[in-house]
Structure 1
Amino acid sequence: MQKMMKRYFKLILGFFIFAIGIVITINANLGYAPWDVFHQGVGNILNIKIGTANILVGLIMIIVGVLNGKKIGIGSILNMLLIGAFINIIMSNNLIPIFLNTYIRLITIPIGMIIMGFGTFLYIDAGFGAGPRDSLMIILIEKTNKSVSFIRNAIEITVLVMGYLLGGPVGIGTVIISLGLGFAIEFVFKILKFDPKAVVHRGLNDEIEGVKSLFKI
């Protein structure tokens, strides 16, 4: 039980740190990451906060994953709910300043990406299931038999274009994040000597069986 609680703490901490990284890149005010351009675009159309749009899009991704037979873990659901909620909390309470100096804004973007890398490490290492958007990538790889880089780039370009058409903010920061986030995450994984392929994820059935065992149902 204590071991499981530590894993849940790592999972939730990972989501919070990831949300901090996202808000730092947003507050650099040089253009959002592709998915955040899309989230903001959805937010513009539905008149909701970007974090709420993040949750809504994540829910759709989970439904798509379930319909395609993907294993959904408690981490997938919490990813959908908590990252968006944390973004709303951080931004609503101005916990991270909006950066005005151009040089500082340029510096904060890679800092935000590195922080997202640490958040990614924590929530993947917890082993509670892939994130909703990761599931979409896996589905498309399986259906098209294309490479990871091709599918990832295709998804990023698609959501970027859709987000831009919906009024999401695009700028030099968008380009930097699009080209650099994968490298930033890989850099963090190398520092921590972390292999995400070695993580064995728990599904919802595992959590249900764990609860039954705990309460001897």
Structure 2
Amino acid sequence: MSAAGPSAADPSTGDPSAGDPSASGSSAPRATAVTAAPGTAAPGDAAAPGDTAGTAASGRRIGRRLVRLYCGLALYGASSALLVAAGLGLEPWNVLHQGLGELTGLSIGVVSIVVGAAVLLLWIPLRQRPGLGTVSNVFVVGLAMDGTLALLPDTRSLAVRVPLLLAGIVLNGAATGLYIAARFGPGPRDGLMTGLHRRTGRSIRLMRTAVEVAVVVTGFLLGGTIGVGTVLYAVSIGPLAQAFLRVFTPAPAPAGSTVVAGTTPGRVILRP
């Protein structure tokens, strides 16, 4: 997958803190997401006691978000598998995962799960709080990657590998937009960037660049694949994810609804 905002995002920065007044210096109030728990009324909900209409609507919204979350994570794993099968270069973290797989003999999906869990442990000193999407990210992406790789035939012809590469990058952008739109928390690797930003005071751009350069170099030295696909992914994933996020982000809930739409983190591309 970290992992990686909405239509207003600037993918060049990868800044999960956007939309946060403390990050922008603005003191303007920000809408927050409030979801009514089953059987309870959200603040400002004028529904009469015992009226289950609001609860049912809230439940449907949560259900749709869960579908977006798990479809996005599964598709992210599948898209990463397409990049692996193409053999023309991987996204930064999967360069490391592949290199560690070569070193340990484990599958790239299993290594992704182990690395994701290890990165999540680094959230503790950084005082980051994981969400459902964060924990799910660790397991679903790796399992989907290995499952897809098991189904893909061995490909050696460029006439097949190039379309696989392009399909993988586009599908990765769609999966990223779908996963972010679910709003269940950042991927473990993106939370690491955010935590480093908050603890060091350095920009998200600098933290992401430093971490991902270190990840790519380490992965390459261990045997991970760097190539034209790595460069193409780096320059295209931001615009693709941003475009798909516009498609998958639901319209804000109307005033008086049990769910008040809040701002989605801007300038962030979450990657598992």
Q: TM-score range by the shorter chain?
A: 0.7 to 0.9
TM-score after normalising by structure 2: 0.65
Question: Paired residue for 1:199, among 254, 260, 264?
Answer: 264
Query: 1:178 Cα shift?
Result: 2.6
Q: Partners of 2:124 and 2:133 in 1: how far apart?
A: 14
CA RMSD of aligned residues (A): 2.4
Q: Distance in 2 between matches of 1:55 and 1:103?
A: 32
Q: Return the offset for 1:15.
A: 0.7
Indicate which of 76, 80, 84 corresponds to 1:18: 76
Q: Return the offset for 1:192.
A: 5.0
Once residues 217 and 71 of structure 2 are traced to their aligned partners in structure 1, the CA distance between those partners, rounded to angstroms, is: 31
Structure 1 residue aligned with 2:103: 45
- Taking only the aligned residue pairs, the percentage that are identical comes to 29
Q: What amino acid does structure 2 have at the position aligned with 1:133?
A: R
Query: What residue number does 1:88 align with?
Result: 146
Q: Which residue of 2 aligns with 1:65?
A: 123
Does the 8 Å CA contact 1:156/1:178 hold for their aligned counterparts?
no
C-alpha offsets along residues 2-51 of structure 1, whole Å, 9 cap, x if unaligned?
43333222211111111121111111111222211100111122221000
Structure 2 CA distance, aligned partners of 1:132 and 1:190? 23
Residue 193 (structure 2) pairs with residue 128 (structure 1): no
Conservation of the 8 A alpha-carbon contact between 1:29 and 1:98: no
What TM-score comes out, normalization by structure 1 length? 0.80
Question: For residues 1-217 of structure 1, what are the structure 2 equivalents within 5 Å?
Answer: 1-92=59-150, 94=151, 96-190=152-246, 198-199=263-264
Q: Give the gaps of 5 or more residues in structure 2.
A: 1-58, 252-261, 266-272
Unaligned ranges ≥5, structure 1: 201-217
1:99 Cα deviation after fit: 4.2
CA contact (8 A) 1:10 1:126 kept: yes
- Specify whether residues 120 and 137 from structure 1 end up closer, same or farther in structure 2 by C-alpha distance, changes over 3 A only: same
The answer to which of 22-31 and 103-112 deviates more is 103-112
Q: Which stretch shows the higher mean deviation, 100-109 or 170-179?
A: 100-109
| Displacement of 1:72 | 0.7
Match of 1:32, SS? coil
* Alpha-carbon contact 2:119-2:188 (below 8 Å) kept: yes
